[in-house]
Amino acid sequence: MLDRITSVTLSSVTLPLGAGISDAKVLTGRQRPMTEVAFLFAEITTEAGHEGVGFSYSKRAGGPAQFAHAREVAPDLIGEDPSDIGRLWTKLVWAGASVGRSGAATQALAAFDVALWDLKAKRAGLPLAKLLGAHRDSVRCYNTSGGFLHESVEQVRDNATRTLESGVGGIKIKVGQPDHAEDLRRVRAVREHIGDAVPLMVDANQQWDRPTAMRVGRALEEFGLVWIEEPLDAYDAEGHAALAGALDTAIASGEMLTSVAEHAELIRHGAVDVLQPDAPRIGGITQFLKLAALAEHRHLQLAPHFAMEIHVHLAAAYPLEPWVEHFDWLYPLFPERLEIRDGRMHLSDRPGLGVTLSEQAREWTVARETVGTSR
C-alpha cells in the first residue's frame, strides 16, 4: 500500500556525561575533556500512521550544525513515499550538495535515513536485522566506556571486572599517551587482571606517528590483543597498511571517516584487518550497507563504532562474525535495554530498531522543530 510522509520532527538533545572523558587526544593537548554528546533525532510519521525514529550525534562541536542542516532539507521529505529510502537519501544529499557528501551534512541525513529504515521494519513487523537478513541473533560485544584515560589503571581494572560480570565479552582500553611506557604498563596491568582468555583491544585515537606506532605495536604483540585501533591519523591509509603488513596483531580503523568513499580508500590500500564504520557518521544505514558489501568482498572483519542500538542490527546482518561496541552512555535516552549475556549482545524481538525516546531525552531537548502536519 502506498504511503506518504506527512511530518518530520527534529530534536537536538544534549546528553550530559558524568565526568570529563579523556582519551589520548586530551593528553596530547588536541582536545578538551568531553562533557556532553549532542544528538540529532528525527521522528518521521506517515499518512497511514506509521512512525520511525532515527538519530545521529556529534561529540564536542558539530551538533548545532547537524540540526541546522537537517532543518533546511527536511521539507524535501514531505509527501514522499517512505519506502523509497535510497532515492530519498540521494534527494537529500543533492539538496545540500554545495556543502559536500561527507561530514556534518551527511551526518545530518543519517538521522532521516535511520528513521526511514526503522519505519520500514516496523511496517513489516520485524526487527531491523531481520528485515535486512540476519546471519545471527546475537553479536560478540566488547566495552569501551570503562577504559578511558581520565581514570586510574586501578579504576579501569575495577570497571573491567564489573563489565565482564555484566555479560559483556571483551574489554577495550585507551592508549596513545605521550609516555609510551605508561601505555604498556596499563595494558599489562589490565591483561594480567582479566587473564589471557578475555578478548582485549587497545585504541590510540590517532595519536602515534608511523615510527612510534610500529615500535609500540611490536611491544604490544605479547599481550595477544584482538586489535590495535587507530594507531595513526585516520586518513593515513598507507601507514596503516604498513602496520597491517608488519604486525601479527590486527589493525582496526574507520570510525572517524564520514563517507563510504573514505572507507574505500582504507580497503583499497589493505590498510585494516577490522573495519569500524559508524552509520550515523557516514550518512546512515543506506550508506553502511554499501560499505558492508565492500568489506565482505575483501573478507574484512567488522566492528561498528558506538551507537550499539543501531549497530547491533547491522552487525547481525554481516556475513562474517563481527563485534559490536558496548557503551552505556546512551542508556538515559531510551527506556529499552539490549540483552547482554555470555559475551554477546542479543537482538530483541521488538520491531524496527526496538527503541523509543525516553522522557529524559525529551527533557534534555535544546531545540525542536516540526515540518509538515501531524495526523
Is 263 in the active site?
Answer: no
Distance CA 99, CA 87 (A): 19
The verdict on whether residue 183 carries a ligand-binding annotation is: no
- Please give the Cα distance from 316 to 35 (Å, whole number): 31
Gap between the terminal Cα atoms of the chain? 18
Interatomic CA distance for residues 366 and 55, integer angstroms: 15
Annotated binding residue at 325? yes
Chain centre distance of CA 277: 7
Q: Is 273 annotated as a binding residue?
A: no
Cβ neighbours for 29, distance < 8 A, ≥ 6 positions apart: none
255 is in an annotated binding site: yes
Burial class (CB in 10 A: 0-12, 13-18, 19+), 264: middle
> How many CA atoms lie less than 13 Å away from 251 in the CB half-sphere?
30
* Torsion sign (Cα): 192, 194, 197, 199: negative
290 annotated ligand binder: no
Instruction: Say whether 120 is catalytic.
Output: no
The annotation status of 262 as a binding-site residue, yes or no, is: no
CA distance 367 to 266: 37
Residue that the C-alpha cell 570497571 belongs to: 159
Instruction: Report the distance separating Cα 346 and Cα 236, nearest Å.
Output: 35
Task: For residue 210, say whether it is annotated as part of any ligand binding site.
Answer: no
Strand partners, 274: 252, 301
- Annotated ligand binding at 23? The verdict is yes
Q: Catalytic residue, from 130, 174, 240, 263: name it.
A: 174
Residues 6+ apart with CB under 8 A from 148: 21, 22, 23, 156, 174
Are the beta carbons of 275 and 298 closer than 8 angstroms?
Answer: no
User: Is residue 59 a known part of a binding site?
Assistant: yes
140-156 in b/e form (b: 16+ CB < 10 A) is bbbbbbbbbbebebeeb
Q: Active-site residue among 305, 311, 313, 346?
A: 305
Cα gap 173→187, rounded to integer Å:
8
The verdict on whether residue 229 carries a ligand-binding annotation is: yes
Asked whether residue 60 is marked as a ligand-binding residue, the answer is yes
User: CA 115 to CA 280: how far, in whole Å?
Assistant: 11
Enzyme catalytic residues: 174, 305
Residues placed in the known binding site for substrate: 23-25, 59-60, 172, 205, 325
Residues placed in the known binding site: 23-25, 59-60, 172, 203, 205, 229, 255, 325
Residues placed in the known binding site for Mg(2+): 203, 229, 255
